[in-house]
Structure 1
Amino acid sequence: MTHDLKQQIADQLDRSRARTRLLTDAVDENDLTAQHSPLMSPLVWDLAHVGNQEELWLVRDVGGREPVREDVDHLYDAFQNARADRPALPLLGPSEARGYLGDVRTKVLDVLDRTDVGEESERRLVRSGFAFGMIVQHEQQHDETMLATHQLRAGEPVLAAPAPPQPTGGGAHSYPAEVLIPGGPFTMGTSVEPWALDNERPAHQVDVPDFWIDTFPVTNGEYMTFIAAGGYDDPRWWSAEGWKHRQEAALFAPLFWKRDGERWLRRRFGHVEPVPADEPVLHVCFYEAEAYAAWAGKRLPTEAEWEKAARHDPVEDRSRRFPWGDDDPTAAHANLGQTHLRPAPVGAYPLGASAFGVQQLIGDVWEWTSTTFHGYPGFSVFPYPEYSQVFFGDDYRVLRGGSFGTDVSACRSTFRNWDFPIRRQIFTGIRCARTATIDEVR
């Protein structure tokens, strides 16, 4: 069993590194070292950073080995260096960074071979391979960040992927627009998922009143209707903070959209194309999502509502790992892992539906919730406060579900993402909810 787990870990490490190479080899050295937006690091910083984190945790901490490049630790400390300042640092060049990653990985595989990663390991850090899984997830999260940098990059397209699947049968029109989720307690979070991060823990009971949630994420076509109805010009739909930001940032449509006569165009990884009406809307900030929901006569779901709709099985009265069950996602369940470079049309993944019939909760677009980022009752830091605890507070909003750029290793129904409510460069979308009335639940 331990041998099988070690092989699984090695495969996951290799798969993450292959994606990192794809994203960094796709551009020349000028693009690799350039800062394409002050919101993002140069790609070459992310490249060496994933190697440095791997060295810190797996080579030095788990393995107890001598440092590979202790002299670069300060350069790749994300808390010590703001993104806007990173281009001015004496960073490793592309070839040197690639060599560094190779040297670290060679040592890591040796550490893996010599480490007890079994369920009964005395060291909590490596039990069930946790530290290795943490590094796999860290690299995949940075790969999604680098994919977002590619979207911000100007110039000719350098990435390619097949189009996502199309809905079959009647597509989204075959399903109700929203689903009633009965009130009552359910188990939120996890205490058993071996690679779950500290902010997903521990499992705890949450009682959620009856509510309705949209069957699908909000589409581009629906969002165009909001724009055409003057949604960006009417402060009734915006919170005070949201309206202030809408004015200061001169928001008028999702990021990367532009008007072309009677139609909307978008720029997607170097391609300029008509905005497809049936895909989930992408690149909207929390305030835009909140305003759209208010205009539609609804609201954003709370984090607990989102997770109940995604995980709770009312027949077995338990919480699933994923909406469809406990098995890992396949290409038939969800749009994940950069397999497609866009969200899939709504209705494209009926096999990914939750027990309640809510669809496309995993993959396609990160979905804003109304909840600020805090630890669960009984939260404890593991293995370091800078992963979660330092971000707790009302400054961040929780996002759920993952996007087309999220890897399955970093996407569970318990997985929590968070960001500032003004952020739009990430792959964010909207799903609405509303409180059920007494008459609706009789």
Structure 2
Amino acid sequence: MTDIDVRLLVAAELDRTRRRSVVLTDAVDDDDLVRQHSPLMSPLVWDLAHVGNQEELWLVRDVGGREPVRQDIDHLYDAFQHPRKDRPQLPLLGPAEARAYTRTVRDKVLDLLDRVPLEGRPIVERGFAFGMIVQHEQQHDETMLATHQLRVGPPVLQAAPPPRAAAAVGGEALIPAGPFTMGTSAEPWALDNERPAHTVDLPAYLIDRAPVTNAQYQEFVDAGGYANPRWWSTEGWAHRMRAGLFGPMHWHGDGTYTRFGRREPLVSAEPVVHVCWYEAEAYAAWAGKRLPTEAEWEKAARFDPATGRSRRYPWGDEDPRSGTRTWGSATSPPRPPAPTRRVPRRPAYTS
């Protein structure tokens, strides 16, 4: 990519991600923005201002070397200082202030994007810091979407249903034994926990070609999976009892579930979501399988046995384009991992 290409990509990704943040925060009124919908989550207005504060810290002040916009609020939006359950008690920016603050920061960021050299320091090389901030905001968009799922009240989010699959995908894939390259040293926007590229040697294993569906998980529930400690680890069974779990969160036990404020029939072919690690572990044990490790999951997703190399994406090295069916895109549901078997006998979530 040329320098101009990188700047254009950064500008496009900043805009695309911010538009999603705006949708998630403009969908509700000010009372909803400042309310804590679950002790697991921050008020939406905290997420919004936190996104702006991180953008100010890393890009305006560090990359750009410019004067602070609101240094006085840094401590309020430091995620390490304040647990989520305590954030509503903080003197946070109100909805109008938070929106104005994020707009001011973004204007300064776009100005310095036109001017700052994208070389000479690792933090700016090939737009790294900008990419990090884009990904940070995307992570908070996911967090805000989870808050919307936990929110009680009339539905406010609208989206077209995802397109139907061209063909059903099932069965297992055999992943051959041997080494593969895990992680990356080449992707300019890869975060530290994805670096460096390193070799991992794995024995052969089988992994489901598709995530566990609602219908498959319903079989586990119907078979008494939540009543039989046989399938659960000691810690998992203790959690199930303590939390009073009888099925995935938001399922009602009558073939319906609540999704963003709407109670509707379960879609049998969709991946099951809103199960915790212990539930996924119990399902995998019931199915005669287990959960995959991170390395097993990554090798299955990107290793090309024909060439012996790790691809950037499951389909190859080309960036996703409009119409590409990718998990995590605007038209795809969340992706839970698929259970795996070890060859020759015996991974839904990574362990």
Q: TM-score range by the shorter chain?
A: over 0.9
In the other structure, the counterpart of 1:151 is 149
Q: Provide the rounded CA distance (Å) in 1 between the counterparts of 2:324 and 2:125.
A: 31
Aligned to 1:114, the other structure's residue is in SS state coil
Aligned to 1:80, the other structure's residue is in SS state coil
In the other structure, the counterpart of 1:179 is 173
In the other structure, the counterpart of 1:416 is none
In the other structure, the counterpart of 1:412 is none
Percent of aligned pairs with the same amino acid: 65
In the other structure, the counterpart of 2:290 is 299
Deviation above 6 Å: which 4+ runs of structure 1? none
Give the conservation status (yes or no) of the 8 Å contact 2:38–2:150. Answer: yes
Asked if residue 365 in structure 1 is aligned to residue 272 in structure 2, the reply is: no
Q: Provide the rounded CA distance (Å) in 2 between the counterparts of 1:317 and 1:247.
A: 46
Question: Which of 223, 240, 245 does residue 239 from structure 2 map onto?
Answer: 245
Residue 245 of structure 2 aligns with an amino acid whose one-letter code is L
In the other structure, the counterpart of 2:325 is 333
Alignment of 1:30-429 (within 5 A): 30-117=31-118, 121-168=119-166, 171-172=167-168, 175-260=169-254, 264-330=255-321, 331-339=323-331, 343=333, 364-367=334-337
1:122 Cα deviation from its structure 2 partner: 1.3
Q: Provide the rounded CA distance (Å) in 1 between the counterparts of 2:8 and 2:213.
A: 41
Aligned to 1:267, the other structure's residue is in SS state strand
Q: Provide the rounded CA distance (Å) in 2 between the counterparts of 1:2 and 1:176.
A: 43
Aligned to 1:257, the other structure's residue is in SS state coil
1:212 Cα deviation from its structure 2 partner: 0.3
TM value normalised by structure 2: 0.95
Residue 224 of structure 2 aligns with an amino acid whose one-letter code is G
1:156 Cα deviation from its structure 2 partner: 1.2
1:252 Cα deviation from its structure 2 partner: 0.5
* Count of residues paired in the alignment: 344
1:157 Cα deviation from its structure 2 partner: 1.1
Give the conservation status (yes or no) of the 8 Å contact 1:164–1:335. Answer: no
Residue 128 of structure 1 aligns with an amino acid whose one-letter code is R
Alignment deviations for residues 122-176 of structure 1 (CA, whole Å, 9 cap, x no partner) = 10100000000000000011011001100111111111111111122xx32xx55
Alignment deviations for residues 373-422 of structure 1 (CA, whole Å, 9 cap, x no partner) = xxxxxxxxxxxxxxxxxxxxxxxxxxxxxxxxxxxxxxxxxxxxxxxxxx
1:24 Cα deviation from its structure 2 partner: 0.4
CA root-mean-square deviation? 1.4
Aligned to 1:259, the other structure's residue is in SS state coil
Residue 305 of structure 1 aligns with an amino acid whose one-letter code is E
In the other structure, the counterpart of 2:349 is none
Q: Which runs of 5+ in 2 are unaligned?
A: 346-351
Give the conservation status (yes or no) of the 8 Å contact 1:211–1:436. Answer: yes
Q: Provide the rounded CA distance (Å) in 1 between the counterparts of 2:197 and 2:331.
A: 31
Give the conservation status (yes or no) of the 8 Å contact 1:293–1:300. Answer: yes
1:36 Cα deviation from its structure 2 partner: 0.3
Name the structure with the higher strand share.
Answer: 1
Aligned to 2:114, the other structure's residue is in SS state helix
Residue 85 of structure 2 aligns with an amino acid whose one-letter code is A
1:316 Cα deviation from its structure 2 partner: 1.2
In the other structure, the counterpart of 2:340 is 433
Q: CA 1:276/1:106 → structure 2, altered by over 3 Å: closer, same or farther?
A: same
Q: Which runs of 5+ in 1 are unaligned?
A: 344-363, 368-430
TM value normalised by structure 1: 0.76
Residue 146 of structure 2 aligns with an amino acid whose one-letter code is A
Q: Provide the rounded CA distance (Å) in 2 between the counterparts of 1:26 and 1:61.
A: 33
Q: Provide the rounded CA distance (Å) in 1 between the counterparts of 2:187 and 2:24.
A: 29
In the other structure, the counterpart of 1:3 is 4
In the other structure, the counterpart of 1:388 is none
Q: Provide the rounded CA distance (Å) in 1 between the counterparts of 2:111 and 2:165.
A: 46
